[in-house]
Amino acid sequence: MTQANTQASQPAALIEVSGWLIEHLEGKHPEMRGQLHKDMSFDSIGLDSLARVELISAMERRFGVALEPTLAYDFVTAGALSAYVWGQISGTPVDQKHLMGV
């Protein structure tokens, strides 16, 4: 399945969350603009503990949902974190173990 087909099968809200997250990370790491993608780990991007907590706080403000501050350690890629947050926003059950890579 191509990336375009995969995106077409995803709910618009999930694409919005994922897009916002990538844009947010690019804003914090402009040297990586255009290189970030949903499967990159936060470690490979260089997010330290403070940056991860700030990311979760920014997501809470942007999407109006309460999130645990440690989520960026449980869901270690933009794609996994986006899917989890989308599930919280939409009330859609997500397979957390799959998203965590367990």
Q: Are the C-beta atoms of residues 51 and 69 closer than 8 Å to each other?
A: no
Contact assessment for residue 78 and residue 18, using Cβ atoms and an 8 Å cutoff: yes
Number of structural domains found in the chain: 1
Question: For 41-66, how does the pLDDT look when each residue is reduced to its tens digit (9 = 90+)?
Answer: 999 999 999 999 999 999 999 999 99
Q: Model confidence over 56-99: pLDDT tens digits?
A: 999 999 999 999 999 999 999 999 999 999 999 888 877 777 77
pLDDT value of residue 10: 66
pLDDT at 7 over 60: no
Domain of residue 39: give its range. 3-100
User: Mean pLDDT, to the nearest integer, of 25-51?
Assistant: 93
Instruction: Give me the CATH number covering residue 69.
Output: 1.10.1200.10
CA–CA dist 43, 86 (Å, integer): 22
